[in-house]
Amino acid sequence: MNISVRAARPEDSGFLAAGNVAMALEAEHKRLDPATVDRGVRAVLEDPARGRYYVAEQDGRPVGQLMVTYEWSDWRNGCFWWIQSVYVLPEARRGGVFRALFRNLEYVARSDGGVCGIRLYVDRDNHRARETYRRCGLVDAGYAVMEVDYSGAVQSAGGTRHA
């Protein structure tokens, strides 16, 4: 299986938005508003300060994605890159797509002198993803993520809005 990874382009926005919507429903049982997600993806593609998307292709066809956002660490005097919006098409899973995306990201991060590490968050019940991440060398950092969501754009699969 020949997998290549490249930076996302504006014409990838539909693929990326659809992947985000599918991932949220599949992995976290949350329904996202597709129009909001589409605008959010386009905002990242238009402004690299917000983040960067990468696309994995197999035989010239997009099969996976991830987004990186940034967090400054005063403790380390460097920037953590946060992996978000990971999605691999079901028919391409278990074929090294995430590993290719991650290895590419590692290479880019290590080439940038200001990056002090890579982090991601994963739903605690997504055991398959957690094992994939462990195999790539990621470890549990011992933190829990807490939030207040003011957007109103996320619903549980049962239709309940998250606060």
Q: Is 16 exposed, middle or buried (0-12, 13-18, 19+ CB in 10 A)?
A: buried
Q: What is the pTM of this model?
A: 0.87
Segment 84-125, tens digit of pLDDT: 999 999 999 999 999 999 999 999 999 999 999 999 988 888
Question: Structural domains in the chain?
Answer: 3-156 (3.40.630.30)
The SS3 call for residue 11 is: helix
pLDDT given at position 128: 87
Nearest Cα to 154, choosing from 25, 61, 9, 67? 25
Residue segments in the chain with a per-residue pLDDT below the cut of 70: 1, 156-163
